[in-house]
Amino acid sequence: MRVLQINETINIGSIGRTTYELSKELTELGHESFIAFSRGNSNNLSTFRIGGEWEHHLHAVMSRLTGLQGYFSWRSTGQLVKYMDRISPNIVHLRNLHGNYINLPILMKYLAENDIPTVITLHDCWLFTGKCPYPISINCEKYKNGCGNCPLWKKDKLNPSWFFDTTHKCIMDKRKWFNNIPRLSVVGVSKWVTEVASQSILSSHNLVTIYNWIDLDVFKPRESKFREFYNLEDKFVLLFVASFFSEYKGYTLIRTLAEKLPTDWVIVAVGKEVKPLPNNIIHIDNTNNAIELAQYYSMADVCVNCTDYETFGKVTAESISCGTPVIVYNNTASPELVGDNCGFVIDESKGISAILEKIHIIHSIGKGHFSSYCRAFAEKMFSKKVGIQKYIDLYNQMLQH
């Protein structure tokens, strides 16, 4: 079997790691595996870089001028098509496509005309909306009826449009492209996003749920000297992890908690600082070193991942895998990832007082009470071997039809 994955990144961030891990495992199982990507570093002969920085920047500018995301990068997508002709993939697996690097009309036409079995993994909602990765952020359900008059067409931080609301055209184009692909399966990384997709332009296609996996050989309880290095030996550590700290990724919560913590409690925030974080927290910049990240999870007494919306919530799953209990909001996919005695799911409307109440419970009981339950739940739910086998079974099913 020859599988080509197309994703914005390779080995950067959670999706980039997942893409690489699947490719590596497929190769070890005797399959031929390829990755096409636009950002990251790889000298592997089985990878193909799509475009360069100048073309990505031009795509970003054209997208903002026209409101059309994924309609440019003609040259680099043409080169990708030639690469696909050379390797003749049996399966094409699409992941994050909204990174200013690929021309969707060219790609989708090629997949349809060559009847290539195609798998889409929904890491967010962009592939079935006019432009939004997370329409839930404003409780918008216009994707059910074709978008248009988009309340975020200028405000969307990932794909803003300066002059035109083209969301109706974009979602109608996506529906046409997907319907033209004879064999198409859609994978939601949580039950929540699969259910949302079932009410969208993807409803007529084969919809399944396959949880993101965690590399449990990497994300496991680990020893480190971080507590000694940061003078945290006698402290109760609250951990926040995000690629960058925005409002929906807990920025306001961190600031508020920092004002209310007892003197023997400390917040450690791992991720890019977009706006200044309080001086009394320990800020650690983004890391793409998975072992180092696992050491931060293991060091903490509790991981707080109270975000406004999660398609999956890999921070939650990684923390639990490292034996550290979590606190999440009762929204989107977050509740699915917290097993019994793995932490707490709280009602967002109850505010910070509810979060503090649960943190105090973990503090009084002790992390040790939760750790074995966390690890057992992770091994049951987030096994890399099980997750990858589910994709292989899906690939085979599509090839047989």
Tokens standing for residue 133: 């990765």
| Backbone phi, psi, residue 236, to 5° | -95, 115
Instruction: Report pLDDT for 173.
Output: 97
DSSP-assigned letter for residue 226: H
Residue ranges per structural domain of the chain: 2-213+384-400, 226-381
Quote the Cα angle for 389-180-26, to 5°: 20
pLDDT in tens, 10-69: 988 889 989 999 999 999 999 999 999 999 888 787 999 999 999 999 999 999 999 999
In angstroms, the CA 351 to CA 231 distance is: 30
CA distances (Å), origin 129, targets 144, 208, 269, 302? 9, 19, 32, 35
Instruction: Report pLDDT for 332.
Output: 92
* Residue 49 identity (one-letter amino acid): R
DSSP-assigned letter for residue 135: G
Under 8 Å between Cβ of 44 and 54:
no
Q: What is the CA radius of gyration of the chain?
A: 21
User: Is the fold of 2-213+384-400 the same as that of 226-381?
Assistant: yes
Which residues, at least 6 apart from 145, have a Cβ–Cβ distance to it below 8 Å?
A: none
DSSP string for residues in 170-193:
HHHHHHHHHHH-SSEEEEESSHHH
Q: Can you list the residues of the chain whose pLDDT is less than 70?
A: 157
- The domain defined by 2-213+384-400 folds into Rossmann fold (3.40.50)
Instruction: Report pLDDT for 371.
Output: 97
Q: How far is CA 52 from the centre of its chain?
A: 23
Please say whether the structural domain 226-381 has been given the CATH code 1.20.58.1030: no
Question: How many residues in the chain?
Answer: 401
Instruction: Report pLDDT for 157.
Output: 67
CA distances (Å), origin 192, targets 115, 124, 125, 152, 170? 30, 11, 11, 22, 24
Instruction: Report pLDDT for 92.
Output: 98
Going 277 to 282 to 284 to 289, the CA torsion angle's sign is negative
